[in-house]
Every structure is written in structure tokens, then in C-alpha cells.
Chains A and B, each alone.
Chain A
Amino acid sequence: MGVVRGCEIPEDLLYDVDNNIWARVEDDGTVTVGLTSYACALAGQIVSYTPKKVGKKVKKGKSCATVESGKWVGPAKSPVGGEVAAINDAVAANPGLINQDPYGEGWLVKIKPDDLDADKADLVTGQAALEAFEKKMEADGFGGC
């Protein structure tokens, strides 16, 4: 498990570092999307979650779900373009799951991608992701998770 300034950043995931989003390509071809532990640390306790509806088209870089913490609303930007294939009912019932398990049960949406290969080119993984997050945390003036 990769760690940057105390924040877990699993090296096997894909990241849109600018938008603080992770993605994982599943065996069935869908892409699971979630907030990074760093995003959760910046946000604090998440109290609301509104995903886009299943079947809705989402463009890459546009909101696929919206969360709220401490009266801040934050749109989560989809790392791939496609159609919302699933939303997370467990998170709807308990939005705090996003903080507790951001890379597991706290996932936001699953997307059926239109052109995964093209969109993947903009995402980073492994050591490159760790370095990119270190740079982002430096720019954000972030002390640590």
C-alpha cells in the first residue's frame, strides 16, 4: 500500500490526481469510482451523497456524484466518460462509509465506459501517482492525513 503524507494511496488503482478521484477497472468492464483518502481528509466527515441516476450519461471530468461535508458541497468528477451502471446504496444509507473505507465499501459509482483506452491515458497509477499526490499536497499546503 502506498502512503503519501499519511494518506493511503493504493498503487494498483488509477487516479485523476487533480480531481482527487480513484478508478478501478473491474472484470466486467465497468469502472468503479471513488474519493481518495486525501479528498476525505480535506473534506472531513461526509454527511450526504447524491449520485447521478443509473442509466445517466456522464462526460469525463463532469460530476458523477455529489457529496457534502460540514456544509461544503463537492462534486466528484468522473475519471471516464460513459453511463452510470451502479450507485452505492450502502453509502446512501451511511455516507460516513466514504470516510471509513474510501477504496472499499465507500465507492461512489460504477461507470460503463464509452472509450476506456482513451480516457485511461490521462490517469496515473503506481509510483507516478504517489509522486503526483505529493506534488498536489505540497501545492495545497496539506499537513497530512
Chain B
Amino acid sequence: MTKWRLLDTGLLGATENIAYNQALLDAVREGQAGNTLRFLRFRPSALIGYHQSPRQELNLAYCEEHGIEVQRRITGGGAIYFDETQLGWELYTTKQAMGGADMGRLAERICNAAAEGIRKLGVEAYFRPRNDIEVGGRKISGTGGIMDGDAILYQGTLLLDFDVERMFRVLRIPAEKISDKNLKAARDRVVTLRELLGELPPLEEVKVAIAESFAEHFGMDLAPAPLNDWERARHREVVEEFSSPDWIHLNERPREEAPVLQGFHKGKGGLIRVSLWVDSARDHLKQIWITGDFFVTPKRAVLDLEAALKDTPLDQVPERIRAFFADSGAQWMMLGPDDFIQAIDSAVAAREAAV
């Protein structure tokens, strides 16, 4: 058993919360604090990943109009909308304490522990490569981390209840406009505890389930304790730094560099439509939606394929699709990997024709 602090910072704004990420990570790196499991909640916030551009990822005018705080995370991954209806969990620790430095393996172990915590609440949540936790193929939790020297912060969200339409208006997604059809597509790809359980479980119950699972997986001897003076002082400094537009707009890039491309392919098994959101400057697939009138069992295989293709260099997409088909075990009626590759190629060709 290892001693871990259980810290709950309650409901805060985005800048305060993200500044705690930096302050607590620094405390571990500088030997000013030990291992910590933190729970946190956000007032309405739009959070981009460290390397992302706010203008490219968010509808900034909508955020401003609705008092949604925009902030940059220090961790990786994509933009998220975070509000009171979600719970955040975070581990602050070291590579040594977690017994390994392989980042993919570490993320998987942490996500498996979080998923098991969610299962204690009575829903079938599982880790899905590379960094999601899903129920029936629909995302219930996203995760990301930072490794600074030997110090680690790994964090995740959990959707208790959620306003999908609001998320849709805050974040850009692989669709060109807001329509009923696209709203349904967005809804099909996420799920909440309220929807699965028929009612909202008490927040304390959710925290206990997750904390117990982490404690079991990582041998944590958890005891509640407050922030220390070093962390509070560091937090004040970081709040100032992260309040600056220079921090939030560190990686600002033109919105046109991240277009949404549509393509389709008609094969023997039916019509495949794809909507790709790409980073043109780096030839990188950010996100994809796949729809159509083809048949696959189980249906969730389509959502799993979308997840497998997230954040992939375009030139590696065909090999990822082939690997997915080889491993997934799904039954695709008269469809093979080449049908999906051709649909994606048609979308990319449309971009090249436009240039």
C-alpha cells in the first residue's frame, strides 16, 4: 500500500482548475507533495488540449455570449465542453510509483481502473483504445495526461448528465452545420450515467466508486488531506500566468486549416458516407464520422472504428483501418477495409480538387 492524498477541490472555474493541474504536478516534480487523487468540477468551460488552437476548435463567439470560460489544458487530447454535470478525476504521481514509463501502457492501466470504478455504478463501461472509456461504443469519459520528468498527471472526465446540444454549439465536430440529423449523430456518440441508469446517481456515490477502484488497482492507502502551502503559493502564480491571452492563444492557427471534408463510396455492401475533420497543415485526421446504409454486427463496430482513427496522420489511415478489420471480430456484410479507405480517399480528393 502507498499513501495517497484524497483531494476534492469542488466546483471551480476553468482557470482555477487548470492552474491546480500545473501547481500540483509541479509539487510532485519538486518533491513538495506526494501522490494525489483529486476530484474536481467545472463551471461551464471550453477546454482545448495543450497543442490545440482555440479558434480552430471552438466557437468562440458562442462561448463569449454564453459566459463559457475558455482555457487551455496542460494535458493532451481534444477540446471538451465541461460543466457542472460532469465529474473530473486526476492522478498525480510518479513513473516509479506507477511502475513503468511506457506511456501507452500506463494510460491503459489508469483507464481500466477508472472504467472498473464506473462499472461499480452498474453500467458496462470499458476502456477503448486509445484513450476513451465507452459504454456500448458510446463515449462516457475522455482522458489525457502529461509526463514532466518523473512526475505524472493523468486526468479524465465522467459524464453524469450532459447537454449535447450545448456541446455541439461550443465545440467544432465533424459536421459542417447544426442540423437535427447532425445533432442526433452527436448524441449517438456520447452517453451519460443519467441516460444509462434512468436517474442521476448521487455525486458522492460516484466519487466513492471511482476512488475505491483506483485504490484497488494501484494499492492506494487513501486519506483526505488539504492543499499544502507550497501548492497554494504556486497556484496563485499559475493563475496569473494562465489568465493571460498569451497562454490561452499559444498555438493559434487559422480555422480554414482545419476543414470538414465529406466523401462517400458505394460498394457491394451499401453506401458509406464519411465526414472527416482534418488538420490540413499536418495532413492529420482529427475526427471522423461514418454513416450509411451498410450492415455490421455489432453496430458499435462503426463507433469503435471512428475511435481507432482519431488523431491519425492521413497516410497511416489505411493501415489503421486494415488492422481494425483484422482485430475487431465484427461481421461486415459485403464490406471490407478497402470500401472505407475509398470513402476516405474520396473526401481527401475533394479537398485537393478545391485547392
For window 33-71 of chain A, which residues contact chain B by CB distance below 8 Å? Answer: 42-45, 47-50, 66, 68-71
B50 at the interface (CB under 8 A from A): yes
Check B103 against A95 for contact (C-beta < 8 Å). no
B69 at the interface (CB under 8 A from A): no
Check A42 against B76 for contact (C-beta < 8 Å). no
Check B131 against A66 for contact (C-beta < 8 Å). no
A18 at the interface (CB under 8 A from B): yes
The residue from B101, B143, B281 contacting A71, defined by CB atoms under 8 A apart: B143
**Which of B145-153, B190-198, B325-333 is found at the contact surface with chain A?**
B145-153
**Residues on the B chain within 8 Å of A139, using CB:** 96
**Residues on the A chain within 8 Å of B131, using CB:** 70-71
**Residues on the B chain within 8 Å of A42, using CB:** 101-103
Check B149 against A44 for contact (C-beta < 8 Å). no
Distance of A70 Cα from B311 Cα, bound (Å): 8
The residue from A19, A50, A72, A94 contacting B251, defined by CB atoms under 8 A apart: A50
Check B101 against A70 for contact (C-beta < 8 Å). no
* CB closest residue in chain A, given B310: A71
**Which of A23-31, A73-81, A103-111 is found at the contact surface with chain B?**
A73-81
Distance of A68 Cα from B103 Cα, bound (Å): 11
CB distance from B147 to the nearest CB of A (A): 5
The residue from A45, A71, A92 contacting B76, defined by CB atoms under 8 A apart: A71
CB distance from B5 to the nearest CB of A (A): 23
**Residues on the A chain within 8 Å of B76, using CB:** 48, 68-73
Distance of A142 Cα from B311 Cα, bound (Å): 26
Check A70 against B146 for contact (C-beta < 8 Å). no
**Residues on the B chain within 8 Å of A82, using CB:** none
Task: Add 8 more A-B contacts to A19-B149, A44-B104, A73-B74 (CB < 8 A).
Answer: A42-B101, A48-B50, A49-B51, A70-B104, A71-B49, A73-B50, A74-B148, A96-B313
* A-B contacts, 8 listed (Cβ < 8 Å): A47-B311, A47-B313, A70-B107, A73-B144, A75-B146, A93-B281, A96-B313, A139-B96
